[in-house]
Structure 1
Amino acid sequence: MGAVISALGAVLQFSAYSFPQLIVGRVINGVGNGRILPKQSPGEAICDRGPPQRGVLLCGNLVDVGMLVPPRWISMETALGFAGSLQDESLPRWLLMRGKTDEGIEAIRRYLGKGLTADDPHVQSEYLSIKGALLVERESKISFTHVLARRDRSGHLKRLLLGCGGQFMQQFGGINALNYYFTIILMDNIGMNELMARILTGCNATSYMVSSACCFWLIERCGRRVLMLSGLSLQCLAYVMVAIAIALVHQAPYQWGIVAVSFLFFYYAAFGCTWGMVPWVYQAEVNSLAMRTVGAAAATATNWLFGFVCTQFTPTGIQNIGYRFYIIFAVFNLVFIFVVYFLYPETANRTLEDLDFYFDRDSNHPAIIPIHDKVAKQSKRPFEAIEAEAHRVAATKAVDAKVVSEHVEDIDNNV
C-alpha cells in the first residue's frame, strides 16, 4: 500500500503542468512513507534505504548532465519520475497495545527470524518484555500537556528534543547547502564551466552512494555516538579546507580548485557514512512508545523546516560572502561536537524498554552526560538494562500467573 501511494504521488509530480498539482503530488508521496524495524539491528534496517536513495540522486544528476540541450520542462519531468517506496506490515507493540495478543505474538515471531514458533522462548521472552513495558506505560500514562510541563517520569520532552536536535544538526551541518547548489558552487566559487560542473556533480553523487552503503556496515558496529562525533569532526575539517581553497583559488585556480573539489567530495563521503542516516535511526530509537508518533513527526518536520532554511540563505551566502560562507558551517559542526558529546546518550544495542529505563527519573542518569559515564557512551548493551529486563519479565510472569489463578478460582466457585 505504501508503494502504491508513493507511486501515485510520483505520477502526479512528473506529470505536473502547474504548481498546485506538484504540491498535491508531494503530499501524497509523503503519505506513502513508513517502515517497521527489527529490535536486533534497527540501525541497519533504516540505513538500507540510504544507498538506493543516493542511487536515485545519482540518476537524477546524470539526467541533468544528459539534458542540457532539450527544453527545460522535459528535464524536470524526467527527473521527477524517479520514485518508489516499500512499507512493511504490522507493528507488534501497536497490536499488543490494542489487546490483539495472538496477532502481536505472531508479528514478534515473524520479525525475530524464520523457523520460530509462537511458543519459542525467544518469542515469549520478547512478548513478556514488551507487555511488561506496556503495563508500566499504562500505569504512568500522561498527557502531552504534562509532557511539555515535564511532569512525567520518563523524560519524554528531552527525548523528543534529542530527536529533533539530531535532525537540526544534520541540516545545519551543511548537507543541503551543497546538495541543492553543488553545481552552482563549482561554477561560481571555483570557476568551472557548466558541463564540467555537472559531470563532477554526478561523480560526487556516485561516491555519496558508496559512502551511504558504508553506513549500513558501520552503524551497529560503531554505535550512534561514535558516528555522530567522527562525522562532525570530519565535516568541520572539510568545510575549513573548502573555505581556505576558495579564498585562495584566485591565486592558483587549477591547484586550489582541485583542493576545493577534493574536500567537497570528502565532506559528502564523511556525511554519507555518518550523519546521512544516523539522525533518522536515533530519533526512531530515542523516543518512547507513547511518544513515537509525535516524536517522529516533530523530528521529520524539523528536518524539512531547517533544510528549507538552509536552501533559502545558501544562494545569497555563495554570492555575497564567498569563502566566509563555508566557515559558518565549519563552526556549526565544531559546536555540534560538544552538543552530541554531553547531551546524546548511546542508543545502539538498546531495546525501547532499555531506553525507557535509562530516561526514567529514578535511574540516576543526569541530563548532561559526565565524562566518566560509561553507560551513556558504550555501544554494548549495558548490564543495568539486561538486569532491568530480567526483572520486568519476572514481574510480568507473576502478573500472568496471578490472573490465571484468580480465573481458575472463579470457575471453581461457580461449580
Structure 2
Amino acid sequence: MAIGNLYVIAAISVIGGGLFGFDISSMSAIIDTKVYKCYFNQGDVVINADGSESCQGPTSNTQGGITAAMAGGSWLGALVSGFLSDIFGRKHSIMIGSVIWCIGCILVCASQNIPMLIVGRIINGFSVGICSAQVPVYISEIAPPTKRGRLVGLQQWAITWGIMIMFYISYGCSFIRGTAAFRIPWGLQMIPAILLFIGMIFLPESPRWLARKDRWEECHAVLTLVHGKGDPDATFVQREFEEIKSMCEFERDNADVSFLELIKPNMINRTHVGIFTQIWSQLTGMNVMMYYIVYIFSMAGLEGNNVLVSSSIQYVINVVMTIPALIWLDRWGRRPTLLIGSTLMMTWMYANAGLMASHGKAAPPGGLNNTPAESWEIHGPASKAVIACTYLFVASYAITWGPASWVYPPELFPLRVRGKANALCTSFNWAFNFALGWFVPPAFENIKWQVYVLFGVFCTAMTVHVFFMFPETTGKTLEEVEAIFTNPHGIRYIGTPAWKTKNEYARGATIERVGFEDEKKVGGTVHTESA
C-alpha cells in the first residue's frame, strides 16, 4: 500500500539530500584532527615540546582534491540521473542512488590510503548526484503549486540536518583513539541510505512520469491517492489529470526528447536560468563555509575544541534558519528570496574581507597549526566580528538560496525534458562544487583574505543577473510555467520582462480551494491550451 501523505512522501525522499549533508560534515569535522592528519600525512612531522607529534596532513592541493572528489562524482551522477530517471522512473532512480551510496561508504570507511579514500568519495558523490537531481523532480511532479516550494525546500533542510548530525557524530568520535575516530562516522553514513531505500518502497511513482509512459490508470490512481483523499472524481484530481494529459499530447506532437532539446531557441532561456541558479548557489561561497569552516575559525583565533564547538553553531543556525523558508517560500516568491539572499551574503563577504585586511596579518610560514591553508590570523574584537559575519552569512543563505536553488530549476521545464534538464542543472552545481572544493585550500594559502572579496564579487554579479533574467514561478502549475516561455504554438516567447512577472501564490491557493470549475470567479486563467 503506497503512502499518500505529501509530507511523509517528501520527508522520506529528501533523505537523499541528507546524504549530501552527511558527506559535507564527515570531512569538515575531521580534516583538522590529529588522527586524520597523521594517517594521511604528506608533510613533515613536528615533535612538540611535550614529546607529542603534529602532522601537516595532506597538502593543500591534495586536501582540496579529497574534498572535491565527492563533487566530481556528483557531477557525473547528476548527468547520468537524467537517463536513469527517464528509463526507470524518479522513485527507482533514487533507490539506485541509495545502494550506490552504501558501496561508497564501505570503501571510505575502509580507506587505507588517499587514493582509496578518493575513489570511495567519488562513488559516494555519484550517489549524491543522482539523488540531488531527481529528488526535486520527484517532489515537484507530485506536489500542488502552493506547496511545491515548501516540499522541495525540504531537500535543503535535510541537507542541513545531515550536516549537523554528522558533525556532532564526528566530533564525538574525535575523542576516540586511533583510526576509529574517522572510520566510525564514515561507516555510520550508510544508515540514512538504508532508511531511504526502505522508505522509497512504500512511496508512489511520479504521476507525470507514469503519464509520460502511457500508464494513465496508475497516473490517475497516484493523483487520487495524493490529492484526492481517495476520491478519483475530486475537482483538483480531475484538473491535474487533464493538464498532464494535455501537456503529454502537446509534447508528443511538437518535440523530441534529448539533451539537445535544452539548447533549442524555445528552451535555451530557461536552460540558462536553471543552470545559473545552481552555479550561483555554489559561487555564494556557502560550501566554503561548510567544508573549511575549521580553517576559517582557526584563522579567527579559536583553538582546540573551541574550533569544532564554534563551527557546530553555524550548522545549528543552518538548520533553524531554513525553517522560515520552508513555511513561507511559496508566499515570498522565488525572485525576492533570491535577490534578498544574494544582497545579504554580498554584505557579509565584503565585511569579512574588510575585517581581515584591516585587522589581520599573515600567519607564520607553514600556516597556523602546521596547516598551510590557515595562512592568515586575526585576533581580538575583529576576530569575533569575523565569526559573527560568518554566522550571519550562513543564516542569510539558509533562508534564501539554500532551499530556493533546489526548488526553482525543476519548475522551469516541461515534462518531456524535466528529468534531463534538472540533471543538467544539478551537474553544474556539482561541477562548481568540485572546482571550489579543490580551489579553496590553495586559495587560502596563496591569496589569503582576498578569497572573501572574490565571493563578494560573485554575490554582486548574481544579484544583477537574477533581477534581469529570472522570472517568477510561484503559485503556477508546472504546466502554466510553460506559458512564461512559449506561446500556444510553441514559439519562443519574448514578452514580459523577468522583473515584471508576478507571484501567483494567492490565485493558486484560491484555485486549489474552490476548484478548477470556479477558477474564473477568482480571476485566474489555466493555460491548458499552451500546454
Smaller-chain TM-score bracket: 0.7 to 0.9
**Which one of 313, 321, 325 corresponds to residue 215 of structure 1?**
325
Letter in 2 for 1:214: P
Residues 1:150 and 2:264 aligned together: yes
Letter in 1 for 2:248: L
SS in 2 for 1:291: helix
What corresponds to 2:255 in structure 1?
141
How far apart are residue 390 of structure 1 and its match?
6.3
How far apart are residue 145 of structure 1 and its match?
7.3
What corresponds to 1:27 in structure 2?
126
**Which one of 165, 168, 183 corresponds to residue 294 of structure 2?**
183
RMSD over aligned CA atoms reads: 2.9
What CA distance in whole angstroms lies between the structure 1 residues aligned with 2:288 and 2:314? 15
What CA distance in whole angstroms lies between the structure 1 residues aligned with 2:164 and 2:273? 31
Letter in 1 for 2:212: M
What CA distance in whole angstroms lies between the structure 1 residues aligned with 2:263 and 2:329? 34
Higher mean Cα deviation, 310-319 or 195-204?
310-319
SS in 2 for 1:49: helix
Distance change in 2, residues 1:367/1:193 (3 Å): farther
Per-residue deviation, residues 108-157 of structure 1 (Å, max 9, x unmatched): 1122142x411223221221121112222122113547636635xxx322
What corresponds to 1:366 in structure 2?
494
**Contact 1:246–1:323 under 8 Å retained in 2:** yes
**Contact 2:129–2:426 under 8 Å retained in 1:** no
What CA distance in whole angstroms lies between the structure 1 residues aligned with 2:263 and 2:157? 40
**Which one of 224, 228, 244 corresponds to residue 130 of structure 1?**
244
What corresponds to 2:110 in structure 1?
16
Per-residue deviation, residues 215-272 of structure 1 (Å, max 9, x unmatched): 2112111011111001001100111111122223349822001110001000000101
SS in 1 for 2:475: coil
What CA distance in whole angstroms lies between the structure 2 residues aligned with 1:59 and 1:173? 23
Higher mean Cα deviation, 16-25 or 343-352?
16-25
How far apart are residue 10 of structure 1 and its match?
3.2
**Which one of 219, 222, 238 corresponds to residue 107 of structure 1?**
222
How far apart are residue 164 of structure 1 and its match?
1.1
TM-score, length-normalised on structure 1? 0.83
Distance change in 2, residues 1:139/1:381 (3 Å): farther
Unaligned stretches of 5+ residues in structure 1:
394-415
What corresponds to 2:337 in structure 1?
227
**Contact 2:479–2:528 under 8 Å retained in 1:** no
What corresponds to 1:63 in structure 2?
169
What CA distance in whole angstroms lies between the structure 1 residues aligned with 2:453 and 2:281? 16
Q: How does 1:404-415 map to 2 (within 5 A)?
A: none
**Contact 1:63–1:75 under 8 Å retained in 2:** no
What corresponds to 2:473 in structure 1?
347
Per-residue deviation, residues 175-228 of structure 1 (Å, max 9, x unmatched): 11211111101113x222132111110111111110122221121110111110
Q: How does 1:189-200 map to 2 (within 5 A)?
A: 190-200=300-310
Higher mean Cα deviation, 75-84 or 19-28?
19-28
Distance change in 2, residues 1:90/1:202 (3 Å): same
Q: How does 1:184-333 map to 2 (within 5 A)?
A: 184-188=295-299, 190-250=300-360, 253-333=379-459
What corresponds to 2:139 in structure 1?
36
What corresponds to 2:525 in structure 1?
387
Distance change in 2, residues 1:259/1:96 (3 Å): same
What CA distance in whole angstroms lies between the structure 1 residues aligned with 2:128 and 2:466? 32
What CA distance in whole angstroms lies between the structure 2 residues aligned with 1:314 and 1:30? 21
Residues 1:91 and 2:91 aligned together: no
Structure with larger Rg: 1
What CA distance in whole angstroms lies between the structure 2 residues aligned with 1:130 and 1:287? 14
What corresponds to 2:98 in structure 1?
6
What CA distance in whole angstroms lies between the structure 2 residues aligned with 1:233 and 1:97? 40
What CA distance in whole angstroms lies between the structure 1 residues aligned with 2:427 and 2:257? 21
**Which one of 32, 54, 72 corresponds to residue 160 of structure 2?**
54
What corresponds to 1:167 in structure 2?
278
What CA distance in whole angstroms lies between the structure 2 residues aligned with 1:140 and 1:336? 34
What CA distance in whole angstroms lies between the structure 1 residues aligned with 2:498 and 2:400? 24
Distance change in 2, residues 1:171/1:109 (3 Å): same
Size of the alignment, in residue pairs?
386
What CA distance in whole angstroms lies between the structure 1 residues aligned with 2:288 and 2:447? 14
What CA distance in whole angstroms lies between the structure 2 residues aligned with 1:66 and 1:193? 17
SS in 1 for 2:139: coil
How far apart are residue 59 of structure 1 and its match?
2.2
Identity of aligned residues (%): 20
**Contact 1:64–1:198 under 8 Å retained in 2:** no
Letter in 1 for 2:226: Y
Higher mean Cα deviation, 127-136 or 380-389?
380-389
**Contact 2:280–2:462 under 8 Å retained in 1:** yes
What CA distance in whole angstroms lies between the structure 2 residues aligned with 1:311 and 1:368? 38
What CA distance in whole angstroms lies between the structure 1 residues aligned with 2:328 and 2:271? 25
Per-residue deviation, residues 340-396 of structure 1 (Å, max 9, x unmatched): 01100011111111111111056885378265x244x66555999942436579xxx
